[in-house]
Every structure is written in C-alpha cells, then in structure tokens.
Amino acid sequence: MLAITRTAALAGIEGISVKAEVDSGRGLPSFHIIGLGDTAVKEAADRVRSAIINSGFEYPKGRVTVNLSPAWIHKRGSHYDLAMAVGLLIAQGSISQQAAERKAFIGELALTGRVICVKGILPMISGLVGQIDEIYLPEENSREGFLAASGLGIRIVAVRSLKDAVDMLEGKLPVNYCTEDMAAEKDERGPVSLDFTDVKGHWAAKEAIVTAVAGGHSLLMIGPPGTGKTMLAKRIPTILPEMTPEEQLETSMVYSLAGLLSSDRPIIKERPFRQLGRRASQAAIMGGGYEPLPGEISLASNGILFMDEFLEFDRGQIELLRKPMEERKVTIIRRSQTYTFPAGFTLIAAANPCKCGYLGDTEHQCSCSQTEIDRYRSRLSGPLCERIDMCIEVSRVNYKALTGDETAGSGEMRRRIRIARQIQRERFSALDFDTNAMMDEAHIKEFCTLGKKEQNFMKSAYNRYSLSPRRYHKILKLARTAADLQESRNIEVFHLAGALGYTRFFDAYDAEK
C-alpha cells in the first residue's frame, strides 16, 4: 500500500516542501530510501524500524521503499524520521491516510520512539506555508515553531513520542496544540552591566558610533593600544535599535539552521553582536561545509560584526568581506546546488596604526620601519577602504576627561538612534530597505538633495581631495544620517563637513601607504 506524508527540506535558509512517499509491499524484508538523501537520511531506516517496534506497533515483514520527492533536491539531516514512520504506519493500516491530510511531520526518532528536537525549524516552516494546516514537531521545537508560524494560518502540534503522534492522529489523545502561553519566552537575562558612561572622554568617537549605528554605516577605529577602541566597541550592543518582526524572523532562521536556538530562546529578539577571531577559516567566516551552514557574517546579519586588531587578520580573510558588504548576502555552490545566506551586517573594526601600534602616539615612539608600516597597512586594500563608510582616530584621553563625570550614556545615545531610525523607516517605507547606508545612486539623488551652498562645498571638496565617485556618495549618505540625528529635513554644510571628516583619514592613510 502507498502512503504519502509531508515534511520539509533545507536549501540555505529556504525551506522546501517534501513529500515522503512510502510503499509497503511484498518482497524480501528491506528498507530502501531514495531521493538523494545523505548518510543521516539513509540511516533513518534503522531508527524508524526500532521506533515503530518499541512503540508497540507492527512492523511490515516485506519490502519498504521511501521516496523523498522532489528527488533532485539534496536531502540532509534526521528530521525526516517522523514523516517516514507515520507514512509507514499509514501504509500498514494503523492510521488512515485522511488523518494525515494537510499535516506535516518534522522530527528525529530515538530507538525508543521518542521524538528528538532538530535544527532548522524556522526555515522549514517557511517552505510549507499555504500547503498544510498543522505541523507535528518535537516538543522542544514547538515554541520556536509557534513563533515562526504565528500569523501564517498554521497550527503547531507538540509531540513527545511516535506513540503520542499516532494517538493524536487517531483521536485517542487530544491534540497538543502549542498556544501563546506555552510559547511565551522566558526572560532570564540579568541587568546590563556595560554602558557608555563607563567610557571617559572620547566624545568624538561616541558621536561617530552613534552615526554609524543610526545609519547602518561601517566604521573603522584606528589608534594605539590601550586607547579604548575595544571598550567602545563592546558597548555598541547597548545602543542598537530594536529589531523589526521581519528582522527577528530572518535572523532567527539563520540561528535555527546553525542549531543556535534553544527551547528557552526560540527566536532572536536582540540584534546580534558577533566578534570574529583571527584564526577563523574561510568557512567559519563565509559559511560552508559539505552541507553548507551559515558563517559568522550571516550570524551577524541585522547586527554587528566586530573585528578587533583588524589589520592583524590575513589579507585574504579581510578581502572575503568585500562582496558580502556590497551584496548583503553570501552565495555558496555545492554539488550543483546554490545556497544563499543573508549578510546584512554592519562592520565595526578596530586596528593599530602600525605593527608596534605607536605610530603617531605622543607618549611612545614607533619602532617600525617604513617597509614594515607599508606591509602592515597593505592588508587593507583600496577597494575595501572604499567600502568602509567611516574611519576615526582614537587617541588617548587626557587626565581631566579620565577623572571627570561622563554624561553621554547608552540611554541617551540609544534614544537619538531610535529617532533617526524611525525617520529612515518613514523615508524608505515604499522601498525594501530602511537605513541610509543601503541607498544607491538613484536613492541618493532623491533623498540627499543639496542647496546651492552645499553643492559648492561638495564641488570644492571633490576637486581638492580627488574624491572617487563612491566616496562622494558615501559622504552624502553620512551627511543624510547626521541630519536625521538632528531631526533636520535638509542637509546643511556642517553635516557635509562632518561626513567629510569621517573619510579624510582614508586619504591620509592612502598617502602614507
């Protein structure tokens, strides 16, 4: 007898609906799985057999064939177990085919019949929208599933075991629908210990950080060791704006695929802050593997990717950022299949000015030769410089600032950023982005109009500093953000001057190289 159940496959962060066609008939006892499955899929035969027997059901004595359709899509993982087992029990007559109509089954089976949690639930649910009414999930994944299915017309059924799932389908047990109360997230986070009030002085650096976060602009901080670059960066999470529901879902999909969600944290509600280590491989940065998983730049999407000691990274590692910063996505090809992960991160980097770190420091003498300085700085190429919006110099604070009272705290900085972000959301409400950093030339022409004085200022700056067209447009976007922070409808000369100041270090940097 032939039975059909529905489940889902993964292709990057996209879910794809899959039919599990189960045929049980005469022949030598065997269990064949076809449909381009990996080792975990092939091993499902033993898990399903033991789970069915240990749950008290009769296992067929003949030939069993399972086809995972469409067969051209690579299948990986153990989450197909539950759909196969239910299909086999339908084929055996233990459950009616009608009971499984417009239902999907996702979960790994233990040999005892217990349903075990799996990763990638969020993107899998997205691939089933409009095709099913209910999804049977492991109890540990039910909260995550409920939050993903909310508003999509899909009900989530939490199951502990194969026996429970069958009894619910047959009406012997009440269906254990996940409710809003069950899915309510536990907030176990303690009080925030970091705050920008801890950072004495550095008023210009704080204003630059506010501008970067408000407009989604990338930022490079350069200065000697011990000046507070890392301290500043570590406090950026305290001023990040709230995530929109769409951003929460996209980020949570990436974390779900990477297996970084838990039953106590079924969805990401705070913007991620990821720090990249210098020993990170290309796969760790970009994502990859035999069955590609997201890398650090995707885990930082809709948040911050922080790279400390930026120029200590190999040039090859740094150059990996160029394309994702431009396209805001990562594309990986494996076995003729394309996987796409989001990469809408904001880069925050900190670096020393030279190998020893003391070039230009008033308190220490630099011990690097010009050749060593050139070699050190060559790790940051011109094309990547063009893709970094802002660069500031972080110097030592004087004694008065160090011992004085600091008033520029995270609360006030976050309030200003929230207002600027709201202005941008309203400005770009008809477009598919919501920050100034994402504007292209057409949007700049529309939203960054200049008066006569401002045009003369930019003409003078363009000719005097030999700005590239890309850098010219960066300055206009930065000026637009500066105006938004002051709730100004028009871009003024002082907004442009401030934006130009954030890019002048690149010109000095190139001249020294």
Cβ atoms < 10 Å from Cβ of 204: 14
What pLDDT digit, counting tens, does each position of 458-492 carry? 999 999 988 889 899 999 999 999 999 999 999 99
Q: Are 443 and 462 in contact (CB under 8 A)?
A: no
pLDDT score of 511 more than 50:
no
Domain ranges of the chain: 2-183, 196-435, 439-513
Of the listed ranges 36-45, 120-129, 327-336, 404-413, the least confidently predicted one is: 404-413
Q: How confident is the model at residue 360 (pLDDT cuts 50, 70, 90)?
A: confident
The secondary structure of residue 57, as a DSSP letter, is P
Cβ atoms < 10 Å from Cβ of 366: 17
What pLDDT digit, counting tens, does each position of 244-284 carry? 988 998 999 999 999 898 877 888 999 999 999 999 999 99
User: Which DSSP string do the residues of 141-158 spell out, in sequence order?
Assistant: GHHHHHHHHTTTT-EEEE
Residue partners of 141: CB distance under 8 A and separation at least 6: 106, 107, 117, 118, 121, 263
Region of residue 201 (phi > 0: left; psi between -120 and 50: alpha; otherwise: beta) = left
pLDDT score of 339 more than 90:
no
Cβ atoms < 10 Å from Cβ of 15: 23
Q: How confident is the model at residue 347 (pLDDT cuts 50, 70, 90)?
A: very high
- Amino acid 513: pLDDT: 46
CA pair distance 343, 304, nearest whole angstrom: 11
Residue partners of 501: CB distance under 8 A and separation at least 6: none
pLDDT score of 382 more than 90:
no
Q: Are 244 and 446 in contact (CB under 8 A)?
A: no
Joined tokens for residue 255? 């974390």
User: Coil, strand, or helix at residue 34?
Assistant: strand
CA pair distance 493, 500, nearest whole angstrom: 10
- Amino acid 225: pLDDT: 92
| pTM for this model (two decimals) | 0.87
What pLDDT digit, counting tens, does each position of 159-200 carry? 999 999 999 999 999 999 998 776 665 544 545 578 998 888
CA pair distance 111, 118, nearest whole angstrom: 16
Architecture of the domain delimited by 196-435: 3-Layer(aba) Sandwich (3.40)
Topology at the third CATH level for domain 2-183: Ribosomal Protein S5; domain 2 (3.30.230)
CA triple 26-31-37, angle to 5 deg? 135
Higher-scoring residue by pLDDT: 363, 166: 166
Q: Are 474 and 389 in contact (CB under 8 A)?
A: yes
Average pLDDT over residues 44-52: 97
- Amino acid 184: pLDDT: 62
Joined tokens for residue 180? 């809003």
Please measure the distance between the N-terminal and C-terminal CA atoms of the chain and give it in whole angstroms: 74
CA pair distance 170, 76, nearest whole angstrom: 30
pLDDT score of 450 more than 80:
yes
Cβ atoms < 10 Å from Cβ of 201: 20
Cβ atoms < 10 Å from Cβ of 326: 11
Residue partners of 312: CB distance under 8 A and separation at least 6: 278, 351
Burial of 497 (0-12, 13-18, 19+ CB in 10 A): middle
Percent of the chain residues past pLDDT 70, beyond the cut = 96
Cβ atoms < 10 Å from Cβ of 411: 12
pLDDT score of 512 more than 80:
no
CA pair distance 307, 312, nearest whole angstrom: 10
